[in-house]
Every structure is written in structure tokens, then in C-alpha cells.
């Protein structure tokens, strides 16, 4: 296979990598475990501290924030797969139709929960003034100087900037040489951004997460073109880079209640390395790549809506259950809440993501065809070329 062909077909792999869907669910559950059991806030569940009623679970779950890092690495793999064989316009339409319907639904559900809680005894709190809600619907409340209605949505702004970088690369067309050069240049830019300590560069280069996205992209290149010394070197450099800057993320979680030790960098590095190893086993023809369980595909479909609602809705629901049924206890209340959030995620997926996403994709594609006929002709020519395997959804 010629590596400089713009849109070569996939070298190997199933039409849908079910293991990637499963790993996305693992990442979401890691983050949920952190928010439910690992938070360092004292007396998060009332008078009893987390480490008092579930010390072992608390100790493990306080490293669950690394699920976000895992998400970003998976995103590098999935988005590179999704980009291949598409024009920038096609890629933009796919991202809008994929991300916004469930996000809009989650924001409005949080607003509704807060309004209901103000009329009753349910413990829910979030800014719901019109200006804040409208700003949050753009998916960029932070840059607009607004508080988050949905606390986990800060990661979506990171993802959006990654998408922008991939869209710029798409303008030039994807090929083995261009993508490997892009990965090397991005790692170098991350190092320079760390040295200069420039907030402006940080906004575009994403130095805290550069290694994660590059690792995902390189693993996809291995999946598509096969392994090579160059790709292994890139993977090694990206891994070394990411474990080095991981200290910045560890420092973000260093504030802990009296009597607890801050997270260990060594433990964080080990957990992250294991997660990245699982992604490699799933995406490069390893043992996990042979998984064909249908429930993994379903799990992958529920991951994004579950991620959006588990904290801002799930935790207030669990606390409300504890107030309504004092004998229930924190752990059973959490279990019931997580089950409810999975059910809500299924409802969001079937009634909002599928329908509104399909409508957005159809209407946006029509607009492009009518208003940008040259781009539409290019898109039609591009889709005739062999395209990559279906990514099975976006992290």
C-alpha cells in the first residue's frame, strides 16, 4: 500500500470495533466513580465522609478522573478514523449532528431539575439565569465567561479545539505522511507551549492533552497501515510527553481533606498506562479487537449521554433519594441513581440523538449541496474512495 495516497482503504479490522465502544463505557464509569465516590470534598454525602463508609472504593475511585484522559486518547483514535475519506464540511456536519442534540438535551434537563428542586427539597444547584443557559447551549460557556450548567462539559471545549485541528488537517487531505508529520509537529508544539508558558498557545495547542490525542491517532495509523518503527517512536514520545505533563493534572487534584494523602503521580501514571495499553490491544489487532459482543455497541451508544447526565443530574437524584428515604444509605442511593441515569441515557439516545441528529445531518448536508455545489461535488468524489471503518460514535 502506498502511504502517500490521500484516502487509502483500511488495511484490516472489523467494520465496527466493538471493543472501542466498551472502552468508552469504561472511561465514563471511571469518571462517574470519581464523582460519586472519589470526590475529595468532605462530607459529600451528608454527615458521613466517603472514606468512612466506603474506604476501599473511595481510595480507588479518587483516581477515576483519569477516565477523562482515557476519553481523549480514545477520541484521537475515533476521530482520526471518522475523518478519513471525508471533506472538512462532511466532518463538521458529522460532529455537529453527533454532539449537540444530546448536549442540548442534557443542559435543558439540568435547568429543569434545578427549577423543580427550588420548589421542593431536592438538592440541585446550577446557574440557570437566561444569559448563562444561552451561553451554555453554545458548548463554549467557559470562553464566554460563564459558569457551566453541566459540570462535565468543560471536556467538550477541549474536544472542539481538537476537532478544529483535525479540520485544518483535512483541508490538505489525510495521508499517512501528513498525519504522522502532524503528530510529530503537534508534540513539538506542545513542548514549545510548555516552555513559553503562553496562555494563547495553550488554547490552540492543548499541551496538557497533546500526548493523549497523538497516542490515539498513532494507534489508528497502526490499525489502518500496520505497525512501523516510525509509528512506535511517535507512540513512545507521546507516552513520555504525556506522563511528564500529567503532573499538572495531578496537581489539580492535590487538594484533599485533612488526613488524606494527595493522589500519587506514580499511581496515576500506572493507571493511565494501563488504559492506553487496553486501547492499543483494542485498536491494533490485539486480543480485544476480536470482541464481537453486541452489548458493547449498545454500551458505546449510551456512553456520551450517560457522561453528560451522571454528575449534574445523577448526584442530585442520589442525594434526593437519601433525603426521601433516610434508611436507604449512600451506596444503594448511588446504585439506584446510576441505574436511572443509564435508563435516561437510553431514552436520550433513542429519542433525541437518533432523531434530532439524523435531522441535523440531513438538513446541514442539504444546505451544503445547495449553497456550496463545488464542495458537494468534492464530497461526492471523496465518498467514492474507500473509507475507514465506522468509528461507532464519538467519545
Nearest 5°: phi and psi at 390? -65, 130
Query: What is the rounded average pLDDT of the residues 36-53?
Result: 77
pLDDT of residue 390: 37
* Residue 394 clears pLDDT 60, i.e. is over it: no
Question: Pick the residue with more confidence: 206 or 44?
Answer: 206
Q: By mean pLDDT, which of 215-219, 291-295, 334-338, 384-388 is the weakest?
A: 384-388
Residue 246 is assigned to a structural domain of this protein: yes
Mean of the per-residue pLDDT values for the chain? 85
pLDDT of residue 388: 36
Residue 293 is assigned to a structural domain of this protein: yes
| pTM exceeds cut of 0.75 | yes
Give alpha helix (H) positions in the chain. 18-33, 50-53, 55-61, 66-83, 88-119, 130-136, 154-172, 176-196, 199-205, 210-225, 229-252, 265-283, 294-309, 315-324, 330-348, 354-371, 373-384
pLDDT of residue 54: 77
Residue 7 is assigned to a structural domain of this protein: no
Enter the C-alpha cell of residue 171: 483541508
* Residue 9 clears pLDDT 70, i.e. is over it: no
β-bridge partners, 1:
none
pLDDT above 90 covers a percentage of the chain that reads: 57
Q: Could you give the CA distance from residue 334 to residue 203 in angstroms, rounded to a whole number?
A: 36
DSSP 8-state assignment for residue 200: H
Residue 257 is assigned to a structural domain of this protein: yes
By residue range, what is the domain housing residue 39? 18-384
pLDDT of residue 289: 74
Enter the C-alpha cell of residue 365: 448536508
pLDDT digits (tens, 9 = 90+) for 68-94: 999 999 999 999 999 898 889 899 999
pLDDT digits (tens, 9 = 90+) for 266-306: 999 999 999 999 999 998 877 887 777 777 888 888 999 99
Residue 330 is assigned to a structural domain of this protein: yes
pLDDT of residue 374: 56
Provide the domain count of the chain. 1
Query: What is the rounded average pLDDT of the residues 33-54?
Result: 79
pLDDT of residue 379: 52
83-119 burial, b at 16+ Cβ within 10 Å, e below that, comes to bbbbbbbbbbbbbbbbbbbbbebbbebbbebbeebee
pLDDT of residue 274: 97
Query: What is the rounded average pLDDT of the residues 189-210?
Result: 93
120 falls in which pLDDT band (50, 70, 90)? low
Q: Could you give the CA distance from residue 340 to residue 82 in angstroms, rounded to a whole number?
A: 31
Residue 13 is assigned to a structural domain of this protein: no
Residue 3 is assigned to a structural domain of this protein: no
Residue 296 is assigned to a structural domain of this protein: yes
Residue 219: closest CA among 5, 19, 68, 2: 19
pLDDT of residue 10: 43
Q: Could you give the CA distance from residue 382 to residue 87 in angstroms, rounded to a whole number?
A: 7
Query: What is the rounded average pLDDT of the residues 116-133?
Result: 73
Amino acid at each position: 500500500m502506498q502511504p502517500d495516497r490521500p484516502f487509502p482503504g483500511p488495511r484490516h479490522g472489523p467494520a465496527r470495533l466493538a471493543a472501542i465502544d466498551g472502552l468508552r463505557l469504561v472511561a465514563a464509569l471511571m469518571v462517574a466513580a470519581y464523582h460519586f465516590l472519589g470526590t475529595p470534598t468532605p462530607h459529600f454525602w451528608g454527615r458521613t465522609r466517603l472514606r468512612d463508609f466506603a474506604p476501599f472504593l473511595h481510595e480507588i475511585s479518587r483516581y477515576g478522573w483519569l477516565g477523562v484522559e482515557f476519553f481523549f486518547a480514545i477520541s484521537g483514535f475515533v476521530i482520526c478514523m471518522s475523518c478519513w475519506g471525508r471533506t472538512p464540511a462532511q466532518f463538521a456536519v458529522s460532529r455537529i449532528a453527533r454532539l449537540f442534540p444530546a448536549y442540548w438535551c442534557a443542559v435543558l434537563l439540568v435547568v429543569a431539575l434545578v427549577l423543580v428542586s427550588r420548589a421542593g427539597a431536592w438538592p440541585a444547584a446550577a446557574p440557570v439565569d437566561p444569559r448563562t443557559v444561552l451561553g451554555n447551549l453554545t458548548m463554549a460557556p467557559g470562553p464566554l465567561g460563564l459558569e457551566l450548567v453541566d459540570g462535565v462539559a468543560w471536556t467538550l471545549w477541549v474536544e472542539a479545539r481538537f476537532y478544529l485541528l483535525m479540520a485544518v488537517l483535512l483541508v490538505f487531505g489525510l495521508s499517512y505522511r501528513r498525519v504522522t508529520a502532524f503528530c510529530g509537529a503537534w508534540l513539538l508544539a506542545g513542548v514549545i507551549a510548555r516552555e513559553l508558558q503562553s496562555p494563547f498557545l495553550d488554547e490552540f495547542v492543548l499541551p496538557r492533552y497533546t500526548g493523549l490525542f497523538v497516542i490515539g491517532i498513532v494507534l489508528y495509523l497502526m490499525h489502518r497501515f500496520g505497525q512501523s518503527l516510525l509509528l512506535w517512536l511517535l507512540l513512545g514520545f507521546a507516552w513520555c510527553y504525556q506522563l511528564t505533563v500529567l503532573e499538572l493534572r495531578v496537581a489539580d487534584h492535590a487538594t484533599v481533606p485533612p488526613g488524606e494523602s494527595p493522589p500519587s503521580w506514580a499511581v496515576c501514571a500506572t493507571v493511565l498506562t494501563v488504559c492506553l495499553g487496553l486501547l492499543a490491544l483494542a485498536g491494533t489487532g490485539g486480543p480485544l479487537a476480536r470482541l464481537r459482543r453486541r452489548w458493547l455497541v449498545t454500551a458505546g451508544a449510551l456512553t456520551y449521554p450517560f457522561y453528560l447526565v451522571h454528575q449534574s443530574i445523577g448526584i442530585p437524584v442520589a442525594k434526593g433519594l437519601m433525603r426521601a428515604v433516610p434508611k436507604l444509605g449512600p451506596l444503594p442511593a448511588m446504585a439506584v441513581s446510576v441505574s436511572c441515569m443509564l435508563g435516561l441515557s437510553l431514552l436520550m439516545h433513542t429519542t433525541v440523538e437518533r432523531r434530532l441528529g439524523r435531522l441535523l445531518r440531513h438538513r446541514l448536508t442539504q444546505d451544503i449541496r445547495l449553497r456550496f455545489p463545488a464542495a458537494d461535488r468534492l464530497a461526492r468524489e471523496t465518498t467514492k474512495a474507500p473509507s475507514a471503518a465506522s468509528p461507532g460514535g464519538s467519545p
